Structure 1
């Protein structure tokens, strides 16, 4: 999607990157920049920086960097056009439709229209003669008529073409229905309904549009659940079931469940902040979506082994966003739906009040792995628990969990405190070894973090980065630069591309800035540029720096040219071959 450049300039002029990032990251000002914990990788020491004067962010830990649009792309899991729409909405701006592909807009609009009509069709089927079995299934699950209506639940008839026929009569083509994920084309080229003889759960996005479906069988046949494929309007990693309803909650926490029925049962019981991931384990995009609406998430996955393993994975993903995580244990039931049916909503609310924080949960989970009647098993548990506690930043928290865990395992707090101390020493030692490995590899450290980019000539590439840093600091240097260095002089194709784009911006009278290049650079190229702009060169040194950088670039170019010429010289190649053969003979 090509977006009008004037619109992008206006949008970028309105964006305040500190304000935008602050909605996701707790920032503290240090000097002229702001710092916080990176939202894109797990860290305990702030390495994520925001420079308001340059309108850029950069993480010294993972190497991600860019402007406001790139930040929203990564934080919300959006592509460039959708990130532009996201920010435009925040600043009450309308993205000019002339800047997008009419064909793409048409496909998207028709997909949403088809999905809406399909939801109506499935709903009508549930309440028609063919839906008697499905309606009875929902009634056995104790769902009220109001709940059925609120969630738009439906039924897909036991037919290969019921939906196909109904939708084609409404004017939708087979290609449009396939693009919406509603029908499937066979190897023979014929089309048939994707969902058959299943109760249907519409998946609705934050804007209230139906974007996909989940279908469940009413018996024990497989697959139990069938979800829509990813389409132009649906990405399962970026959406949560019932988020369109949960976002309106006044609750101080969100409940994260495993399945559609758990979420619906929770809402019916009055827990209106319940959501679920869509057929996959929780993703970072979904965690970031949650972090925009709550500071606390209570994970209430199924009580089986698979559910508890998924809960362990969800803890790290949620904590990475700064969310406070608690874990709900469900005694005497396999999931929230079953517990509420047998014990009631009040009993479930008491479970929530007694939910464990993630540290206590992990220690309890570790305890369940060992037989405490065996001394060697208790020792193994204490070592694992010490590793969990050693990761805590707060000494108070460490002391509390050290005491309680020691009591749990039947040892003295003093003895276990020594084990925690040893675990902390091991962690520090691992960190030191990692640092030493990095120090011992200076040539590798000089390379970009993204290994898909490699500097063949590190000396020249560093000077090329310096040229870009000067240019972004003082655009007036462009005229002088163009007389002495061109994109073709750059040893790094990526840095040469950036320099060429900057030259084009200058020619068109646009501002040379990170935001102006968003949408023109690949993410890896944007990271590279943001890294190059970390270094500020004082005003009184810029002229000398420019001369030094251009001299290095020209010298290295001459060396590359001479080497290429030598390699192409047939007489030289013959002499080299003779020397090589002589060496073998000896």
Structure 2
């Protein structure tokens, strides 16, 4: 049993995609679409498009795309049913009791089992820390200044030197090897069988915002490698979507969140009363983590290590945080390396003053860029100020831009009117305007090159969904049978069916595709590039596409025709004659592509 198509469509219609995605991504209207930084891959120039007309999103960089259900599934790591329930609640739609399918029940049961295994593992590690075997680890934590209360609050633990203690403990609770291996807590090989992934490490349980243990981090005791080890990704743990300490920080009621690098930094700050600190999970900050913070605050203080690597990490994080609409400041900890070290030496009050003195992130970026110029040389300073002026163009709000011009001018000893003139001069030249480019990240490198006919068919599907009114005329020339690529043919059949029922609705069509990769591919069919400006150019291109598609369709059907199919042969001959006529006199289209 599943929810009816009508109910699913009602929920989709009541959740405008621009409003929903706008809660996660900072969007700006450009023409008929909205653009922002893609939350599914790191980028500096916005290539993530949200169409209110199609009620779909598409990233021209990484290819992510779909309707409002797809976005929630991808962003929140939800199943379709979980996304449906979330959006139904948002729209105030009551869902009837549903009997889950066997597959859905199995997936839900597996997630619950993994959560139970992690909970038991956290309990086991905590007891190990409290026991005699955890003396070294406890001394380490006490040496870092942690109290018993803090150790308990964060559920810190220890995995002993022997490689199968947790495995034996969980086997006594009757968990089978299959689900234990899926938990990410164990390794397995032919020689040793199943054995613990973490051993001789201080353990840091990682919790989601609902206080459920979803993974673990471990710091080795001694000189073993790697120094820090995290759980691999599982059905309940995706490090790019979670933040260490957020389960506590989200309840802090502070005006901002602090993002730092390590577990101990978060714990040390929480113990000192700064319970709004979080950390990324052993990787550089991701756009998904930035969007996660946006749910709980409008401002983020960046506290990364004060060394060169920490500075680079801060410079990478700033555009990601700004991209989701967060204001950002950078905290200077020098001469100390990290928050834990600072608090140990200077105490809570001194740390509080450093937070209050946090530097505006734009001014921090500008100050860091000074290193590329000889500021003592007149030409070097001139080049720097030209660079600063181009950066100032990034502020679209005139009041905000003028405030920053005054600040920069005052800092670098020039008249604000002089800097303002330079900014305006660059604006007239178009400096600072960034085009949407395909990223050079290799994201598309594994995709097969499209053939010319596939491009033509994709272009036609994009035209149909972008300008539904053209269907009235193109149905005289082509039909679903002229889309010879399997998926394109399937989608075309659905669109032509929708047309005959009185509406073209690509977002509704997408509900019929369950596989996420298939959804992305279908979405891409509605977002082919149409770099044509005038109706005359579009009509000419549309006519060419119709002829190319028909020619390919005739060749395809001819190659697959049964020799005894006389009706099929007659249809082919008729279409060949029609195609010859179109090529001689042209396809007669009288269409306006104006969307208003």
Is TM-score (shorter-chain normalized) higher than 0.5? yes
Moved more, 338-347 or 317-326: 338-347
Instruction: Tell me, yes or no, if structure 1 residue 498 matches structure 2 residue 491.
Output: yes
Q: Specify the alignment match of 1:154 in structure 2.
A: 157
State the Cα deviation string for residues 372-397 of structure 1 (Å, max 9, x = none). 44555545544443443343334454
Cα displacement (A) at 1:107: 3.1
Deviations 1:28-68 (A, max 9, x none): 9999x78564655868999955437x544567999865321
Corresponding position of 1:524: 520
The 5-angstrom pairing of residues 123-134 of structure 1 reads 123-134=126-137
- Matched residues in 1 for 2:461 and 2:282: separation? 47
Aligned pair in 2 of structure 1 residues 18, 524: CA closer, same or farther (>3 Å)? closer
2:300 pairs with 1:297: yes
Asked if structure 2 preserves the Cα contact closer than 8 Å seen for 1:461 and 1:490, the reply is: no
Structure 2 spans left out of the alignment, 5+ residues: 439-443, 531-541, 562-596
SS in 2 for 1:155: strand
1:489–1:553 CA contact under 8 A, matched in 2: yes
| Cα distance change of structure 1 residues 62 and 241 upon mapping to structure 2, 3 Å threshold | closer
**Alpha-carbon shift at residue 132 of structure 1 (Å):** 1.7
The 3 A distance-change label for structure 1 pair 117 and 353 is: same
Partner of 1:247: 250
Contact 2:184-2:232 at 8 Å conserved across structures = yes
Is residue 508 of structure 2 the alignment partner of residue 515 of structure 1?
A: yes
Alignment of 1:563-582 (within 5 A): none
The offset of 1:398, in angstroms, is 4.3
Alignment match of 2:310 (pick from 307, 312, 337): 307
How many equivalent pairs are there?
537
Say if 1:4 and 1:99, in contact at 8 Å, map to a contact too: no
The structure with more helix, counted as a fraction of residues: 1
| Cα distance change on mapping 1:129 and 1:62 into 2, 3 Å | closer
In the TM superposition, what is the alpha-carbon distance from 1:325 to its structure 2 partner? 1.3
1:37-186 aligned within 5 A: 37=36, 40=39, 48-51=49-52, 55-57=55-57, 65-76=65-76, 83-84=83-84, 86-87=86-87, 90=90, 93=95, 96-98=99-101, 100-186=103-189
In 2, Cα distance between the equivalents of 1:526 and 1:161? 47
RMSD: 4.6
Q: 1:201 to 1:95 in 2, by over 3 A?
A: farther
- Mapped contact 2:128–2:159 kept (Cα < 8 A): yes
Q: What is the match of residue 24 of structure 2? A: 24
Partner SS, residue 128 of structure 2: helix
Partner residue, 1:257? 260
* Structure 2 Cα separation of the partners of residues 524 and 173 of structure 1: 36
Equivalent-residue separation in structure 1 for 2:204 and 2:469 (angstroms): 53
- Pair 1:549–1:34, CA change in 2 (3 A): closer
1:360-414 per-position Cα deviation (integer Å, ceiling 9, x unaligned)? 1112212355554455554554444344334333445444444544554455656
The residue aligned with 1:557 is: 553
* Worse-superposed segment, 167-176 or 62-71: 62-71
Matched ranges for 1:343-422 at <5 A? 343-368=346-371, 370=373, 372-375=375-378, 377-406=380-409, 408-409=411-412, 420=423
Of 376-385 and 226-235, more deviation after overlay is shown by 376-385
Instruction: List gaps (5 residues or longer) in structure 1.
Output: 439-447, 535-545, 566-586
**Structure 1 residues 526, 252: CA separation in 2 closer, same or farther (over 3 Å shift)?**
farther
Q: What's 1:572 paired with?
A: none
